[in-house]
Copies of this chain bind each other. A is one copy, B any other.
Amino acid sequence: MTGPARPRRRLKQPREDVMAAAMATIAERGLAELTIAGIGRQVGMSSGHVLYYFGSKDELLLQTLEWSEEQLAAERRRVLGGPSAPRERLDAVIDLYLPDGRRDPRWTLWSEIWNRTTAAEDVLRRQLDLELVWHRDLVALLAEGISRGDFRPLDPERFTVRLRALLDGFGVPLVIGLPGTDRGQTLEHVKEFLDDALTPAPAG
């Protein structure tokens, strides 16, 4: 076996430092002021060194998003594994999904990465993979709620597509801080939608 299998744990820490710095800068000052050299300054690296790790700014942004989604996935799993009713867990997952507020770095990264799409097939694939994680968890939760009779019987796959589209559409105004949008009201809107769509017809 030629397996080097060397853990190279060394690499992990500086990369995470860089990604954490990127997230923090986006949250504090926005994407426009995020520069490679600036990130490097924050973590004590030269700009060249940052690119030695990530190859390009695009790659840095995408990996930062992936890293951020991994962390959120852990939280989501905790919520999903909880004991409460499917509907309560659904509400909690949606609360995790929607942006924290204006300039939420995770959503800002999403939005930026959409734009950079120069048709690179593998990048699109990676974006899709990130979405699928949410998708699958939502589908499973819906299926559980349906089988328990908590939710009206519907196609969980199709409904999840619809729900995610709705959430994405609601999320964007929140991240950019469009006047008149407010997280609380948005959550109410979503809940109203879920009430309309999921609540079983009152049985006679």
A contact set with B: CB distance below 8 Å: 30-32, 102, 108, 111-112, 114-119, 121, 124-125, 127-128, 158, 161-162, 164-170, 172, 175-180, 189, 192-193, 196-197
Q: B112 to A115, Cβ gap below 8 A?
A: yes
Main secondary structure of the interface of A (DSSP, over half): helix
Q: B119 to A177, Cβ gap below 8 A?
A: yes
Nearest-neighbour CB distance to chain B for A128, whole angstroms, equals 6
Residues of B within 8 A of A115 (CB): 31, 108, 111-112, 115
Nearest-neighbour CB distance to chain B for A164, whole angstroms, equals 7
Number of copies: 2
Nearest-neighbour CB distance to chain B for A132, whole angstroms, equals 10
Q: What residue in chain B is nearest A181 (Cβ atoms)?
A: B128
Complex partner residue of A118 from B32, B119, B158, B197, CB under 8 angstroms:
B32
Complex partner residue of A179 from B112, B124, B172, CB under 8 angstroms:
B124
- Some 17 contacts from A to B, beta carbons below 8 A apart, are A30-B117, A30-B119, A108-B115, A111-B114, A111-B115, A112-B115, A117-B176, A124-B177, A124-B179, A128-B180, A158-B192, A161-B189, A162-B166, A164-B169, A165-B169, A165-B189, A166-B169
A168 to B171, CA, bound (A): 10
Q: What residue in chain B is nearest A102 (Cβ atoms)?
A: B119
Residues of B within 8 A of A166 (CB): 162, 165-166, 169
A165 to B170, CA, bound (A): 5
Q: A176 to B118, Cβ gap below 8 A?
A: no
Q: 15 new A-B pairs (CB below 8 Å) besides A30-B117, A112-B115, A165-B166? A: A30-B118, A31-B115, A32-B118, A102-B119, A108-B115, A124-B177, A124-B179, A128-B178, A158-B189, A162-B166, A162-B189, A165-B170, A167-B169, A168-B172, A169-B169
Sorted nearest first, the 10 A-B pairs with minimum C-beta distance are: A165-B169, A168-B169, A169-B169, A165-B170, A117-B176, A166-B166, A32-B118, A114-B176, A30-B118, A165-B166
